[in-house]
Chain A
Amino acid sequence: GQNIDQPTEMTATEGAIVQINCTYQTSGFNGLFWYQQHAGEAPTFLSYNVLDGLEEKGRFSSFLSRSKGYSYLLLKELQMKDSASYLCAVKDSNYQLIWGAGTKLIIKP
């Protein structure tokens, strides 16, 4: 079966750095996405990786290792508004998006 694993919840301090991991086992691979979802709102796109390596976008970076079936989202200089759920999703060989359960990130002052 297809599966995506990510931690259920993480806590970090304002101004710090946090890394949210995602591991996947899917039928094929056509890219990995990270989305941010604030409570009660729809997800918004953060990043996309299809090749191995690090993609940097401002305070957020995403890393991919296809051989390991592994990705992480790195958030720097954490702000209170970064408190949200972070969803990892993989497009399989049929271009179907397989979603992780999401990681709830709690930022403390």
Chain B
Amino acid sequence: GAVVSQHPSWVICKSGTSVKIECRSLDFQATTMFWYRQFPKQSLMLMATSNEGSKATYEQGVEKDKFLINHASLTLSTLTVTSAHPEDSSFYICSASPHFESGANVLTFGAGSRLTVL
């Protein structure tokens, strides 16, 4: 089955620093990857859709200059949280699927990255 690897699984950083999270599709090519954020006891919130070779599509209310997404290859997307603040502390999860536009194809999630900003 499809495998998505996400790194790091957890990170603690100081306020004002930047943090990069990597998401890799290990056994398939993903032209599209999705970045979610989840606060404690809340549901998944889609932040942005990462498109290989083009700009990401951000959801309403998500600052594109703060959450930089790069999808430079068919197997790697990165999310950089710039100038992180304590309110950015959250669980960030990436996901992907081969041929996502096909209805039956299942979205596979990475293990998630728990960010704590001090």
Q: Could you list which residues of chain A lie within 8 angstroms of chain B, going by C-beta atoms?
A: 30-31, 33, 40-45, 48, 50, 87, 91, 95, 97, 99-102
Contacts and interface: CB of A to CB of B under 8 A. Distances in A.
B65 interface: no
Given A42-B93, A101-B43, A95 B101 contact: yes
A97 B107 contact: yes
A43 B109 contact: yes
Contacts of A30: 103
Interface of B: 6, 34, 42-44, 46, 91, 93, 100-101, 103-104, 106-112, 114
Given A42-B112, A43-B109, A45-B108, A101 B103 contact: no
A50 B42 CA distance: 27
Contact of B103 (A31, A45, A100): A31
Contacts of B91: 40
A99 B106 contact: no
A48 B106 contact: yes
Contacts of A40: 91, 114
Contacts of A44: 109
Nearest to A4: B43
B49 to A, nearest CB: 8
A32 B58 CA distance: 23
A48 B104 CA distance: 7
B43 A99 contact: yes
A87 B43 contact: yes
A41 B43 CA distance: 12
Given A87-B43, A87-B44, A100-B43, A41 B103 contact: no
Contacts of B104: 31, 48, 50
3 closest Cβ pairs, A-B complex:
A30-B103, A42-B109, A101-B43
Nearest to B114: A40
Contacts of A33: 106-107
Contacts of A42: 6, 93, 109-112
B78 to A, nearest CB: 17
11 contacts: A30-B103, A31-B104, A33-B107, A41-B112, A42-B111, A45-B106, A87-B44, A91-B103, A95-B103, A99-B43, A100-B43
